Structure 1
């Protein structure tokens, strides 16, 4: 399954929504990479297994289930989360790209690629639309969490 969509971060025409800078937005994405517990319901722990230049290897603990993923990025441009397919997980990638078509008008593009529903006779194909809707809601929530974390961070 391949799926992508945009989430508007700043709408310069709407003064009710505080503007975020590209730097603040990037800081929020790094929050997500460093500690995903704020972003993924049901996640008990996010353990950094390895750090490298523009890379993290993590273990995500959901109760008894653990998933390892790799996070890579190009600072202020994009961040990619990669999970290998296992017997209990479809695997796939999520790439989040910062787009700025005009000054201060920021968007995040969420692009998913998974093995879910890849063939027409795949039993999981029926769930693909449900999964797309869930991803979209989760991504909107990601922006809400980033705004909340930044508001708390700037208050200290």
Structure 2
């Protein structure tokens, strides 16, 4: 299955929309990787097991269910999430990138990809997953906007530092 969608960040035609700069948007997206419990309410906890300037390896805990993944990032541009096959989980990827077709006009592109067939009984399940992914992403952008409005994404001078404490 492959699924891709865009969320508009700065709509200059809508005065009700708060405008985010690239740094705020980037720090919010990076926060989704480094503090996933802020974005996934049913996640019990997480652990960062390895961290470098451009990647982190994590263990995500959902009660008795655990997921190992790795997140690589190109600062101020994109995050790539990799979940290797493990137990009943198939290998999957998520890429989140910042698109800027015009100066200051940001969109966030989400690309989900896995090896699940997109036919037969799986097709209905994949439709459900697509809908859930999109709602999660919309909610993530809503949270990023909220954190930005609170001034919590204006912080560090380096791209890999996190503006919020756990």
TM-score by length of 1: 0.92
TM-superposition CA deviations, 1:54-79 (whole Å, max 9, x none): 00000000011110100001011110
Shift of 1:30: 1.3
Indicate how the Cα distance of structure 1 residues 32 and 155 shifts in structure 2: closer, same or farther if over 3 A, else same: closer
Shift of 1:87: 2.5
Q: Which residue of 1 aligns with 2:4?
A: 4
TM-superposition CA deviations, 1:123-152 (whole Å, max 9, x none): 433311111111111111110111122233
Which runs of 5 or more residues in structure 1 are unaligned? none
Q: Which residue of 1 aligns with 2:38?
A: 38
Q: Which residue of 2 aligns with 1:126?
A: 124
Indicate how the Cα distance of structure 1 residues 154 and 48 shifts in structure 2: closer, same or farther if over 3 A, else same: closer
Q: Which residue of 2 aligns with 1:109?
A: 109
Figure out how many residues of one structure are paired with residues of the other and give that number: 154
RMSD of equivalent CA atoms: 1.8
Shift of 1:154: 6.3
Indicate how the Cα distance of structure 1 residues 87 and 155 shifts in structure 2: closer, same or farther if over 3 A, else same: closer
Which runs of 5 or more residues in structure 2 are unaligned? 156-166
CA contact (8 A) 1:117 1:126 kept: no
Q: Which residue of 2 aligns with 1:144?
A: 142
